[in-house]
A and B are shown apart, each in its own frame.
Chain A
């Protein structure tokens, strides 16, 4: 892979004209979130490196994952690779799971260059800023959080590296949101049953593949590090935490080490969340930070999330689609591709060949019973195998010409839902919608229609025109 860590990835983005630098000093508010909002809106949707923030020592990187170009470069592909091609390239890399990590000594781990254990003040290291106006405070929104199963601390597969929102609440105190269905909540429950603190490491400024994997719904006993290695085609470098025996990325920019205070909950939130609305204030656990290690001149990479699409929508796009695709494909080999890019899989489009009448509905029902699809997916559209589910014009064609509204539209009332979906009522319950936009096959029957043909030599001319267009750009 062309990069080993965030720094090298930023250098790659810059070389590919996918990174811009802001050299003038900016204010933490409102400039940093305004930059995060703006970056995905311009055509190349570059990452932004903000060198100087008033009152702070260190720099900020924003929108690192926030475009299909950056996403392709993260996967080691040319920056103009189409979404569908990226999907299949990701599927191929995924098949290499597991590629186990390697461990390096603390002396060789860049993240150990500087170590702070006294007079900790998070603001000294992190240029913290308000992400959305009515957030309850300053958030670390793009960290990888590592924890272990307290009953099985040597089991690396049960070690978890996930992304959970972190609210700064003191110089050495933060709040964390482990939702009950998150893996870290399983670790916390086991620790709290014994009234023990749970050691965690909050890793910031990571290899972009690590952030991609830490927001992917993998199974409890699957290691995010092994997946990240598979995506890179080479092992991730880990090192040991200073305390708590955790395995942390050796090349991250900054690692905050601490422990979740057992059996206490304090007010946290609100925070602007991925569906484009605030999630309310709740009582949640807090984390005491006892050690910070970081690289020299550490970069604070953070996530702005706003009205979709912003960076998080790119970050949660194909890594939501692929596990669903693989789970469906196991039982329904006719499935061609899954596009679950809409609001973390609340909207899903599946393309499949139909084995018999009603097959599209069966595929949709299987999707709605997968671990992720059950709570998240609300609107499921099934299209024929020749429709590209990533091409919304083609999907609209299927909806307008294939759907018999009386037969092909189904609702399932009062099914499991996602509490962060503002339309789930009560929070955590919603009604599912299935739209089967496939062409009926026997024993189902449709009026006779014949599809238009693609002219002979189309592929030749497509490539010919693409090449002319490309050479005119260069």
Chain B
């Protein structure tokens, strides 16, 4: 399976429906996108996912950090 949003191949089964085998939810290890097997094709299909919301997996590390990670305090002895 391929992530519909970032086209990564690292996709995992997150969960099956708690009741009655109704659906599964998948999650992308690379961009954290998650979706349900019963959603529309324009959510599940990498070719149909809206281009405005696609994510370039090579640029994830360049995204802004919120909030920024502060400097470590010196250990007091």
Contact = CB atoms under 8 A, between A and B. Distances in A.
A169 B23 contact: no
Given A55-B18, A134-B53, A193 B32 contact: no
A27 interface: yes
Interface of A: 27-29, 54-57, 121, 123-124, 130, 133-134, 136-138, 167-171, 175, 177-180, 185, 188-189, 192-195, 263, 265-268, 270, 278, 281-284
Contacts of A185: 67
Given A123-B25, A133-B43, A179 B71 contact: no
Interface of B: 5, 14-15, 17-20, 22-23, 25, 27, 31-36, 38-39, 43, 50, 52-53, 55, 60-61, 63-73
Q: In terms of DSSP, what is the predominant structure of the interface of chain A?
A: loop
Contacts, number: 110
A426 to B, nearest CB: 12
Given A193-B70, A268-B32, 20 more contacts: A28-B38, A29-B36, A54-B17, A56-B17, A121-B15, A123-B17, A124-B18, A130-B43, A136-B5, A137-B33, A138-B34, A175-B32, A185-B67, A193-B73, A267-B31, A267-B63, A278-B53, A281-B31, A281-B63, A282-B64
A180 B32 contact: no
Contacts of A178: 66-67
A56 B32 CA distance: 22
Contacts of A194: 72-73
B32 A283 contact: no
27 contacts: A28-B23, A29-B36, A54-B17, A54-B22, A123-B18, A130-B36, A133-B43, A134-B52, A134-B53, A137-B27, A137-B33, A137-B35, A168-B34, A169-B27, A169-B32, A171-B15, A175-B32, A178-B66, A179-B66, A195-B72, A265-B69, A267-B31, A267-B55, A267-B60, A267-B63, A281-B55, A283-B63
B66 A169 contact: no
Given A123-B15, A133-B43, A170-B14, A265 B32 contact: no
Contacts of B22: 54-55
B38 A27 contact: yes
A443 B52 CA distance: 55
A165 to B, nearest CB: 11
A195 B5 CA distance: 33
Given A134-B50, A267-B63, A282-B64, A57 B33 contact: no
Ranked 9 nearest A-B pairs via Cβ: A55-B17, A55-B22, A137-B34, A134-B53, A193-B73, A123-B15, A283-B65, A180-B67, A185-B67
A58 B75 CA distance: 48
B50 A266 contact: no
A57 B15 CA distance: 14
Nearest to B57: A267
Contacts of A130: 35-36, 39, 43
A27 B69 CA distance: 40
Contacts of A27: 38
